[in-house]
A and B are shown apart, each in its own frame.
Chain A
Amino acid sequence: MISTLPSIGVFTTNTDLVVQVWDAALARLTGISEESAAGRRLTVLLPDLEKRGLLKRFHRSLQDGVVEVLAPAFHHYLIPCAPVSPSEQFDKMQQRVTIAPLRDEESIAGLIVTIEDVTERLERERELATRLEEGDETTRLHAAETLSADAAFDTGPLLGALSDESWRVRRAAVTGMSQRAAPEAIAALLHSVVENHQNPSLLSSALQVLASSDVDTLSPLTQLLQSPDSDLRMQSALALGEQRDVRAAAGLINALQDDDANVRYHAIEALGKLKAVEAVEPLVEIAESRDFFLAFPALDALAKIGDARVAPRIVPLLEDDLLRVPAIGLFGQLGDETAVEPLTALLNTENAPTDSVAAALAELRDRYEEQYGEGDYIADLASRQISPTGVQNLLDALEEPGKESLRPLALVLGWLKRTGVERALTRLMGRNDLRDEIIDALVRHGSGTFDVLLPQLSAEDLEVRRSAVVALGRIGDARATPALVSVLDDESLAIEAANALAQIGDPQALDGLIELMGNHDASIRQAAASAINSLATPEISKRIIPRLHDPDPNVRESAVKIAGYFGYPEAAGALLTLSSDPVERVRCAAIEHLPFVEDDRALEILTHAIREETPAVRAAAARALSNVDAPEAVRHLIDGLFADDVWVRYFSARALGRRRSPESVAALEKVIAEEKFNHVRIAALDSLGQIGSPHVAGIAAGLVRDDDPDVARAAQATLEKTGQ
């Protein structure tokens, strides 16, 4: 194939469009010699480039990195010259031109332009196209078969034949359309590559051109692996890795025996990129050879291939000073639980590569957690096998300055219940990037960390105090209650402290939390109310119910949220009264909690509120009605769908979904069709999905391309929920 006389010529330019390479094929095709072309600016060589509107195509390729194709049907030629063989129809050579960026690392260094002489082909194509239109069935069929058999012909005439009255002609056209490829073009282009391979960017750019044509480059590239030129073999190996086609593995495995080490190096890398499982054995052998130049990429390729069975073969490499670190990395990436023992054995030695081992153990643990939810299994295994020397190595590594990440060390130390570890971990509590790991580790250590954590509540660093509060809450030991209550005074930590006290659930926290009920910050009030709700002590009702009448509206609002949550019968009257409190915020809270009050008047108040109150209270009433059992609530919510306030409509729509009210389907569909505000339409759509309306899939399908991305996203989610 490579020896075929090419009808494709190639030239390259730099970014100023000055010709760099002008190959022999192009010189033969155009009659312009390399000497007269090289070094000249393209616009000088082809003065009408701009006038013909072609210059911008070159600039676009240079600037945007795109591949531009000048089709002969439109542009006829780039370089004006006579056809190689005389033509009846064309006085100039017809050319198919591909302009592609020539890359140098990350940037574009110039262009590679291929020019294919298509004169004869076009001539023949026109002749066959005429026959396709004018001949009898036999002539048309012959023309269609001829056009189909040669993929170099344009698909235009075949497209017309797809509607031919003869099925035979139609079948021939379909066959031709589905088998388009251009092996000759590849061969010719690759021939040029062979001639010009000393330009290292040429091959990759040529492949880019070929890739844009959807042609198979595997076979010719594999053939190039047999080239006598070692540079070309190396470039081919590199390119085959980039193609990501596993069929290249066999050729690349053969290349592992190449005489040239650079070719072997690139073949190893390519096999890694291909994740070629069949290459595992030869790659392990290369790693075992401990060849300094090749063992590194072999270990890297094995990690990419990810076959865990190689791990036992790699164990001896842990003793190799040079290959130890990549071997450890390999264990982290593909090892299983059996990797823990050799890794910890290494960690337990003097002068252990502690950071690498910790990183590998952490990676192994993370992978087990992600894949099987069994990260703790690796942690337990490791913690049992790490000796006092290993612990000391970890603690020493933690003290070394200038580390990019301490997470692996913190994580592995967190597995170990040993003296000194907790104190080391608490020193890292102020670091935001390690906070989760440190808190998890301290929580795992449980109440034993008390002596270490309590002093941290008065640390100077806010983040340290915050982590200590969170950890104490998660440990859940009531001995921490007094200390946490004292932190409630600090507004920057009050929410975390309230959450921690909620987790502990110690009634001793009640007084401190009650103090926060009147706080100016709504988040703190909310956290305090939620924490009180988790204490579950009979003392609460005695302390909270009187506060329903507190002069401070913040306190009344918090008291409503607590009394309403517990549904105290003795608070029912007060809650009903507070539904007409002068402060809107208190009324909203009371209204939202009325469904939890055992009183017949509650429904009447709610249905009145959704019609007659201020917009905020009406919206609260809509939210509340989702929790009311009475069937008539649905009617009021349907009315709410068409209320004048948008938030009443929104929350009515949401409430109907929560109630799963089939009688509201028609109204919700109307909202989707007519509502002005998209969030109300989204709420209605969500609710139709919750109700299980038979029309919901159809409605959602009509909205997945809505101009508003929120609507489109909600429609997509609804379709997924309905299994469409």
Chain B
Amino acid sequence: MTFRSQNLILPEGASTLIQKLINERTGMFFDNGKRDLLLDKLSPLVIERGFSSYLDYYYLLKYDEAARSEWQNVMNALSVQETYFWREIDQVRALVQTLLPQCYARNPRSTLRIWSAACATGEEPLTIAMALNEAGWFERASIEIVASDASSNAIDRAVRGVYKARAFRSLSTQLRDRYFEPEGADWRIRSDIHRRVKWTVANLMEEDQIAPLASADFIFCRNVFIYFSENAIRRAVHSFAKFIRSPGHLFIGAAESLIRLSTDFTLTEVDDAFVYVKREKVI
């Protein structure tokens, strides 16, 4: 198969260099079967830069001192933003009904922090906020929800707080009507719930970016590791373990697993949901 942008030059070996660099900097892993997809997604960026060769663009990303903003374009081009409210709700339920109450009982005066580490356009942290609100936790405890994503486009959309009908495929109409206001064909999140979440851009491969966020009691990092290489997952999870509060809990997606990796977390089951708990001692 030839990739779509046949008008760009792809010198021998350049695609491998790009695949490796993208993996190293973003964690995302495009194997050879997805090589054309990667090149297609990057092609507008290559052309916008005025380059005619992918190799020139590789050098830009790797060497140019001003490439930081270009990496944001890459993240925006490659990130997958398909998600919805109330997705994999068992884990959120375990948080609200069991884990957060336990945490609160241990430290009733401290602020409990929840970090949604790959929040895409915001559906996950808003789901958590709605669930906590339904259980009345915002009145009982001081809770901070922080949400981040590597794509600035995704965070911009999360900050706008307006969602299309597809995002409500798992949310009951009752909850939708309670927490959203119609805006044309779309829906806007209620401002008091939206304000509960602090939004920011962060790359899971950059420890200095995630360190202040990972100092949390609960980390949700769901449906992102399926796009990562094993090494990248290991790096991200190691950073989580380094900064998460004790005893910290990590939630990952149902299709993901850390079992094959040696990590600082142990798998446990809470209220029919799988949750990883930080081991006592980081090796």
Chain B binding surface SS class: helix
Q: What's the least CB distance linking A505 to chain B, in Å?
A: 15
The segment from A64-72, A331-339, A522-530 that touches chain B is A522-530
Q: What's the least CB distance linking A5 to chain B, in Å?
A: 48
- Give the chain A neighbours of B56 by CB distance below 8 A: 650
Is there contact, CB below 8 Å, between A678 and B63?
yes
Q: A523-B40, A650-B59 are in contact. List 4 more A-B contacts (CB 8 A).
A: A496-B4, A522-B48, A678-B63, A679-B59
Q: How far is the CA of A530 from the CA of B5 in the complex (A)?
A: 11
Beyond A678-B63, A710-B17, whether A527 also contacts B44 by CB under 8 A is no
- Give the chain B neighbours of A679 by CB distance below 8 A: 59, 62-63
Interface residues of B in 40-67 (CB under 8 A from A): 40, 43-44, 47-48, 50, 56, 59, 62-64
Closest residue to A520 on the B side, CB-wise?
Answer: B44
Q: How far is the CA of A317 from the CA of B246 in the complex (A)?
A: 68
Say if the beta carbon of A171 comes within 8 Å of chain B: no
- Give the chain A neighbours of B63 by CB distance below 8 A: 646, 677-679
Q: Give the interface of A toward B (CB within 8 A).
A: 435-436, 495-496, 499, 521-523, 525-527, 530, 585, 588, 616, 619-620, 646-647, 650, 677-679, 682, 710, 713
Is there contact, CB below 8 Å, between A646 and B50?
no
Query: Can you list 24 residue pairs at the A/B interface with Cβ under 8 Å?
Result: A436-B1, A495-B4, A495-B5, A499-B4, A521-B44, A522-B47, A523-B40, A523-B43, A523-B47, A525-B47, A526-B5, A526-B7, A526-B47, A527-B4, A530-B7, A619-B50, A620-B50, A647-B64, A677-B63, A678-B63, A679-B62, A679-B63, A682-B59, A710-B62
- Give the chain B neighbours of A677 by CB distance below 8 A: 63
- Give the chain A neighbours of B7 by CB distance below 8 A: 526-527, 530
- Give the chain B neighbours of A522 by CB distance below 8 A: 44, 47-48
Q: How far is the CA of A435 from the CA of B33 in the complex (A)?
A: 12
Q: How far is the CA of A515 from the CA of B5 in the complex (A)?
A: 19
Contact of B64 among A499, A646, A710 (CB under 8 A): A646
Beyond A522-B48, A619-B50, whether A435 also contacts B5 by CB under 8 A is no
A435, A585, A679 — which one has the most chain B CB atoms within 10 A of its CB? Answer: A679
Q: How far is the CA of A677 from the CA of B59 in the complex (A)?
A: 10
Say if the beta carbon of B6 comes within 8 Å of chain A: yes
Q: Give the interface of B toward A (CB within 8 A).
A: 1, 4-7, 13, 17, 40, 43-44, 47-48, 50, 56, 59, 62-64
Q: How far is the CA of A646 from the CA of B48 in the complex (A)?
A: 18
- Give the chain A neighbours of B1 by CB distance below 8 A: 435-436
- Give the chain A neighbours of B48 by CB distance below 8 A: 522
Q: How far is the CA of A521 from the CA of B5 in the complex (A)?
A: 12
Is there contact, CB below 8 Å, between B59 and A523?
no
Beyond A522-B44, A588-B50, whether A527 also contacts B62 by CB under 8 A is no
- Give the chain B neighbours of A496 by CB distance below 8 A: 4
Q: What's the least CB distance linking B159 to chain A, in Å?
A: 22
Closest residue to A533 on the B side, CB-wise?
Answer: B7
Is there contact, CB below 8 Å, between A523 and B62?
no
Is there contact, CB below 8 Å, between A523 and B64?
no
Q: How far is the CA of A228 from the CA of B59 in the complex (A)?
A: 67
Is there contact, CB below 8 Å, between A523 and B5?
yes
